[in-house]
Structure 1
Amino acid sequence: MNRFLQFGWSLRRRLIGLLRIRTRGVKVMLFNSRGELLLIRNGYGDTGLFVLPGGGVGRREEPLAAARRELAEEVGIAGADLRHLGDYKTVAEGKRDRVSLFHGSSDQPLRIDGREVSEAGFFPPGDLPQAASPATRRRVREWVAGGPFGGAW
């Protein structure tokens, strides 16, 4: 199944870049009661990197609803109280994307499907895994500094 996901992700990415489609996405900085940050490894794309959970915003979907949906789909966390931190722009992966960043907390147990998300866990912000993505590291630095939130992803 991972090969199918990888192929679909790659094809979608190429089409979006070729057609110069503007997309909207969300990312979530979710902390547990110990102050640890939730990071995931996707089962498609660059599978070696730990990133913040998130994904695309559907047509007619509000970013907050998308953030909640993505948490439920990716790690089985429902009903987390999320707050908007800021909006970012990115041209990564050949697309023009606006990413809305949210933060919240939860101690609900993680449930991953092993396909879309291959690994998930909570990490101290000062001791992220070596494979944490550069963008994830930038968001953590912004969080520790208290902002500002927004600009380039």
Structure 2
Amino acid sequence: MGEIIKFIVAIVNELHDIVITIMYGLGFNVTDKQLHFWVIGLLGMGGFIVVQLLFRVLAKWSITAISFIYSITVLLVVVFAIEIQQKITGRGNMEFADAVIGIQGFIVLFLVYLVIRLLLVWSKKLTNSFTNKHNHTK
């Protein structure tokens, strides 16, 4: 896990240097704070537009899909925060496998939830169908 974080940090550092070089090459003399303002702001707005379009499509299909995406996103942040906290404090082992197994736990339990929900919906439709047929025969 530590190696993965170091690799991600190295990529971010390289991208940071490339963006600063490009900005200076274009004649913009920006501070680190200004660079963060624009880069994170633009990334956030780009992400927002993609999420907005995706959620509009999903909302027509199922609110459950939106809830799942939100939940797994929050869980990813929490899982990696726990692993980083373990590394910083030395309480526990910071391992990528721990993060993966935690997310797998959510996915398995979510699938169990979906099966139960589908069974309930199916049984309700079956009951309504039987009741409607029984009422029409009288």
- Give the alignment's TM-score, normalised by structure 2: 0.24
Greater per-residue helix proportion: 2
Of structures 1 and 2, the one scoring higher in RCO (CA 8 A, sep 6+) is 1
> Max radius of gyration: which structure?
2
Greater per-residue strand proportion: 1
